[in-house]
Amino acid sequence: MLLPSEMVRVDILTHKRYSHLLVENLHESGLMEIEKASLEDVKEGNIHPDAGVLASYHLRLGRIIEILRSYAPKKKGIRNMLKKKVEKKQVPKMSMQEKIERAEKLLSEIEDKVLEKEKRMNEIEETMEALKDKERKLEYLSLFNIPVEYIGKGRYVIIKFGISTNLQSLRQDGITFYYRNIGKKKEERWAVLLVAHISMEEKLNKLKNFEEIRVEGEGTAGEVLREIRKEIKELEREREKIVKELATIYRKKKMDILAIKEEIDIEKERKEIYSKFGETEYTYLIEGWCLEENMDDIRKLVESVTEGNCVIALEKVKREENNAPIHLKNPRWAKPFETFLELFSLPKYNEINPTLFLGISFVIFFSFMLGDAGYGLVMFLLSLFARLKFKESEFIKSWAFVGILLGLGNIFTGILFNSFFGDFIPRFIYGDAERMIYETNIFGISLPIDAIHKPILILSIALILGLAHLNLGFILAMYQNAKRRETKKIFTEQIPWFMLQIGGGMLIGESILELWHLSNGAKIFAMIFTVVGLISLFKNNGPLGFFEITGYLGDWLSYARLLALGLATAGMALAFNVVAQILPDIIPYVGIVLMPVLLVVAHFANLAIQALGAAIHALRLQYVEFFNRFYEGGGKKFMPFRVSRKYTEEIK
């Protein structure tokens, strides 16, 4: 579990006559990742000839689904947004030819109809766009009582219609104009009719701040406008009818289309995989990887399908070889945290899998930075509700479990640090903002710890957590080097840091912090550890050893953000409570009603903002400070050749 799963190199040589059945069985089993054959003197395989036919059906079916989905009624609401369970259609096992026949039959029923209606919809949209443009122009012209056909150039007079942003520029000899204000509020914009003798045409064409609008039709602008609006309504009715027809087709044929497309896609994947094979005149060479635990299953499957007419080589991959794909084996609760690891990078094949440590420390740091029992309770209840309500969704269930962990962590830290929606309980229930939520004494330690009034104590706890986290990184680095048989690195890269921390910590604790008094023997011991640690660092890094020390101190002090974000959460919550408390005095009567509204909205906003900040900074401490001790990453995820069914369930 501390290292990625052991991988096995798989090489299969078989006669071509078994290829179809072998590919099908490998696809169904999902045990093997197939990669491009790399053996010299073996030519690259070609995509199976049937792949082109399948690709054609894939595109046609995809086009129909895309069209129909765009006209299907949209389901609204949080429940539908979170709902992940997909209805599945049971399908019998079919040959490729049977799948193609089913696809062709379905397409012959609906393809022409759907494409024809889609074409008509595009025509309607284009026509309506043009009509609405005319409508907008005629609305302006209707402000003037003039027939549309008058606009333009006559035998003696020219009349132009348009929009102007500066009437002064239109005031010129020989030009008469009429205007109506169409600007919003103080916007200077007018609909304008220009009238002039035909000889003034060139002057009219050179007018500034005037945009001509060309209109067509017969009768007054109002009459033409009514005809256009009537035409638009007719088109809207036709469009609505087509939308209903397409939505009906989608509702009736949805599962049939999705199911057959998925079947076609599965078959297409099987035909395309041939391009990764090595090929001779009579055989195929298949290369790839499988998990060590699946070695026997792969061997039995291949030998069974090929009736023993094959050569299969299975070789465990040594940890020193970093070309193997990566499969992480983690407990179920830690699976969501693999996403955080993948955001950074997967480990190499001979590198520690830090998912467990990332998950545990993320919960601890997040809870420390948010640190409010009230917010934790909200997170816990919402996550518990999501986990119970949306049982059908594995995605929601797994992340809801993370929310439950974070909620419980914040309930604990909130109780520890005297925070439940800030000082809500002392201020509004006890009537004394200075009072603690509770008071107890455990092993001589007074609880709770008031974070607002004792920031130095909280900072000390944060730095102790940081020191533990950094040293956990060193311990993992030692384990990693031991597994790699790189013992020298343990003594040159990790042990010097432990010596320097122990020796330097003892001396600083006595001389600077005055936390204890060392005996002469202890002082000599501390000095030896410190000197040896320093010599080792400078020997390994040269003059840059100084920056190694300052860098480590900087990483350690980064954990002070645990205090900073915790105080920000508590401070904001306290401020909201104070404002809510004085609100009835500021706004009598109304303030009493607004107070609970303000508390709910403000605390919810504070929870959302501070939770986001806590999550980002908790991850930063993993990626920068913790991973810097032992982790590089750069692994490639294990991607087995596997059937993926979302809409179908094959009947055995």
Could you tell me the CATH number of the domain that includes residue 27? Answer: 3.30.70.240
Q: Mean pLDDT, to the nearest integer, of 141-155? A: 87
The 8-class DSSP code of residue 293 comes to G
Structure tokens given for 513 = 């912090």
Residue 348: pLDDT over 80: yes
Distances (CA, A) of 601 to 19, 26, 405, 606: 63, 55, 24, 9
Q: Is 112 contained in some domain?
A: no
Judge if 316 and 361 occupy the same domain.
no
From 40-44, 225-229, 242-246, 604-608, the region with the lowest mean pLDDT: 40-44
Query: Could you tell me what percent of the chain has a pLDDT over 90?
Result: 62
Distances (CA, A) of 527 to 507, 509, 513, 533, 534: 8, 13, 17, 10, 10
Residue 346 — pLDDT band, cuts 50, 70, 90?
Answer: very high
3-state secondary structure of 560: helix
CA dihedral 638, 643, 646, 652 (to 10 degrees): -140
Under 8 Å between Cβ of 409 and 367: yes
The 8-class DSSP code of residue 318 comes to P
Phi, psi of 208 (to 5 degrees): -95, 160
Residue 504: pLDDT over 60: yes
Return the higher-pLDDT residue of 517 and 290: 290
Judge if 301 and 348 occupy the same domain.
no
Q: Is 260 contained in some domain?
A: no
Where is the domain boundary, 193, 228, 263?
A: 228
Residue 359: pLDDT over 80: yes
Quote the pLDDT of residue 540.
82
Q: Is 259 contained in some domain?
A: no
Judge if 612 and 463 occupy the same domain.
yes
Structure tokens given for 3 = 């290292």
Judge if 156 and 203 occupy the same domain.
yes
Judge if 402 and 508 occupy the same domain.
yes
Judge if 288 and 338 occupy the same domain.
no
Under 8 Å between Cβ of 604 and 372: no
Q: Is 82 contained in some domain?
A: no
Structural domains in the chain (count)? 3
Judge if 183 and 223 occupy the same domain.
yes
Q: Is 144 contained in some domain?
A: yes
At 238, which amino acid appears?
E
Q: Is 241 contained in some domain?
A: no
Judge if 302 and 364 occupy the same domain.
no
Quote the pLDDT of residue 209.
87
Residue 83 — pLDDT band, cuts 50, 70, 90?
Answer: low
**147 forms bridges with which residues in the sheet?**
220
The 8-class DSSP code of residue 198 comes to G
Q: How many helices (H) and strands (E) does the chain have?
A: 19, 15
Quote the pLDDT of residue 519.
85
At 610, which amino acid appears?
Q
Alpha-helical (H) ranges within 290-371 are: 295-305, 337-344, 355-370
**181 forms bridges with which residues in the sheet?**
190
Q: Is 97 contained in some domain?
A: no
Return the higher-pLDDT residue of 507 and 406: 406
Residue 87: pLDDT over 80: no
Under 8 Å between Cβ of 354 and 476: yes
Q: CA-to-CA distance for 457 and 566, rounded, in angstroms?
A: 13
Judge if 318 and 351 occupy the same domain.
no
Residue 80 — pLDDT band, cuts 50, 70, 90?
Answer: low
Judge if 349 and 449 occupy the same domain.
yes
Structure tokens given for 186 = 């103080």
At 352, which amino acid appears?
I
> Under 8 Å CB-to-CB from 343, ≥6 apart: which residues?
619
- CA 545 centroid distance within chain: 40
Q: CA-to-CA distance for 258 and 103, rounded, in angstroms?
A: 10
Q: Mean pLDDT, to the nearest integer, of 33-39? A: 89
Q: Mean pLDDT, to the nearest integer, of 212-241? A: 90
Under 8 Å between Cβ of 504 and 537: no
Quote the pLDDT of residue 439.
87
Judge if 342 and 446 occupy the same domain.
yes
Label residue 188 exposed, middle or buried (CB < 10 Å: 0-12, 13-18, 19+): exposed
Q: Residue 299's domain spans which residues? A: 3-45+278-326
3-state secondary structure of 311: strand
Judge if 397 and 293 occupy the same domain.
no
